[in-house]
Homo-oligomer: A and B are copies of this chain.
Amino acid sequence: MTVYGGSGDPKRSLELLWGVQEEKPKRGPKPRFTVDDIVRVAIAIADAEGLDALSMRRVAGDLGITAMSLYGYVPSKAELIDVLVDRVVGEIEMVEVAGDWRAKLEHVARENWRLNVRHPWLLQVSSSRPVLGPNMIAKYDYELRAVNGIGLTSIEMDLVIGFVTDYAHGAARNAVEAAQVEQRTGATDDQWWEEYSPLLEKVFDAEKYPVAAVVGAEAGAEYGAAVDPSRAFEFGLVRLLDGVAVLVGSKG
């Protein structure tokens, strides 16, 4: 279900990511493709149809070769995914944001949100022991600079960045799932609720759960759905920055 990055040979993954080339082969037929071709096709598949659709057979098929031929370019699927991740991480807009740390940090959160919404399959790739490709490192440095020189220790800087990026990932996950659920089930939120609510009313005891009854009803009416992920992101972002502000303020 969840796919794991960094599972393959770290050496080979790093070589792929940083373009370190062992001396290239002299004899034998020329490869028809490059790793770059494969990565491009793979990202297209994952973006359009999700990580479930990204199989070795599918990638190979789109290139016009067989699954096993890919193993001449890439040691296994795990390393391929490592490369995909670092590739799209490079899409993060790493501009110098005018203003204070808060403006910069907000931009960091929004860029992380955007990245994950644009490439939802990223949310399914585990990030423990990530393979540190060039774009991943550039991103880490860029994000740290948002909170550099405002009185935080290195540890605090690292924790704050983790806090912000994790939040953005979680919020993006909710947004992506909400967007996909309609397509997956073939029913809009309205249609779903129309079928679901009469069934639920038979079993839900509004007297036993008065708070849930009131809040659930009001929230549903306000959102026009069970949840509104985009609004939740904006709401949480303010709380989050307020919370960091308390920390920063305590250093002054």
Residues of A participating in the B interface, judged by any CB pair closer than 8 Å: 1-4, 7, 10-11, 14, 18, 20, 50-52, 123-124, 126-129, 132, 134, 137-138, 140-141, 144-145, 148, 154-155, 157-160, 162-163, 166-167, 169-171, 174, 177-178, 180-181, 184-185, 189, 192, 195-196, 199-200, 202-204, 209-212, 214-216, 218-219, 222, 226-227, 231-232, 235-236, 238-247
Contact = CB atoms under 8 A, between A and B. Distances in A.
Contacts of A160: 239
B247 A141 contact: no
B243 A209 contact: no
A29 B236 CA distance: 55
B209 A141 contact: yes
A246 B236 contact: no
Nearest to A10: B196
A246 B18 CA distance: 45
A236 B137 contact: no
B162 A212 contact: no
B155 A219 contact: yes
A108 to B, nearest CB: 13
Contacts of A144: 211-212, 215
Given A144-B215, A215-B154, A129 B14 contact: no
A241 B242 CA distance: 10
17 contacts: A1-B124, A2-B123, A14-B199, A20-B203, A127-B177, A128-B226, A129-B189, A140-B209, A154-B218, A158-B215, A158-B219, A159-B232, A163-B239, A166-B170, A166-B174, A170-B170, A243-B243
Given A128-B178, A128-B226, A239-B243, 14 more contacts: A1-B1, A2-B2, A2-B123, A10-B192, A10-B196, A14-B200, A20-B203, A126-B181, A129-B181, A145-B211, A159-B235, A159-B236, A166-B171, A167-B170
